[in-house]
Amino acid sequence: MDVPNEFMLVEAFRDGDAGRVHVESEHFAAALAAMPQALLETPRIVSQVVDQDGWNEMGEMTITQ
């Protein structure tokens, strides 16, 4: 669904420790201080742990050379 002025932020971390370091970082604190003035509502979040290393190739699109 197209919603004007709606943005999606996707983040991925190698493990829980990496996510914790991110949330405890200065740049995250700066974002928390700066972002609320640009928001119309509280952001929604999906948090999911995936038991996988790295990314899989997309099966629907294969590039061959």
What does the pLDDT look like over 44-55, one tens digit per residue?
999 998 888 888
Residue 1: per-residue pLDDT: 65
b/e code 4-39 from CB counts within 10 Å (16+ = b): eeeeeeeeeeeeeeeeeeeeeeeeeeeeeeeeeeee
pTM of the model: 0.68
Segments of the chain with pLDDT less than 50: none
Angle at 10 between CA 40 and CA 63, to 5 degrees: 140
